[in-house]
Amino acid sequence: MRSEAMQRLDALVGRWRASMHEAWFLPEPDVENAGIVVVDWWSDAFVTFHWHADGADLQMVCGHSGADNSYHALYHDERGTDRLFAMTFDGATWRTDYQLVLERVAA
């Protein structure tokens, strides 16, 4: 059964055009990285993000901690890089500690 906090993330499920910039972990933070992100449910507990950008495949799993009422995103890419990001979602805006813009792709 999905928690109320996780149910809010259902608004993110779908296919998105994405761009990322000003991220502290990018080799060139001022360069925009664009791609397609597919967001889907993994069981009722997590939301997965599969990002295809510039020949790279990136993955992120997002979940919620009821203990401190916070969302977290665990990231992994093909280089073997793993990171944990804090995130917020208010039902309309998803934020992490880097600039990621999502625009829904028409069905």
pLDDT, tens digit (0-9, with 9 covering 90-100), for 48-84? 999 887 777 888 899 999 999 999 988 887 778 888 8
Q: What is the pLDDT of residues 84-95, one digit of tens each?
A: 888 887 777 677
Does this model's pTM top 0.75? My answer is: yes
Please say if the pLDDT value at position 107 is more than 60. no
User: Which among 49, 3, 6, 54 is positioned nearest to 26, based on CA atoms?
Assistant: 54
Res 41 pLDDT > 90: yes
The DSSP line for the chain is ---HHHHHGGGG-EEEEEEEES-TTSSSTTS-EEEEEEEEEETTTEEEEEEEETTEEEEEEEEEETTTTEEEEEEEETT--EEEEEEEE-SS-EEESSEEEEEEPP-
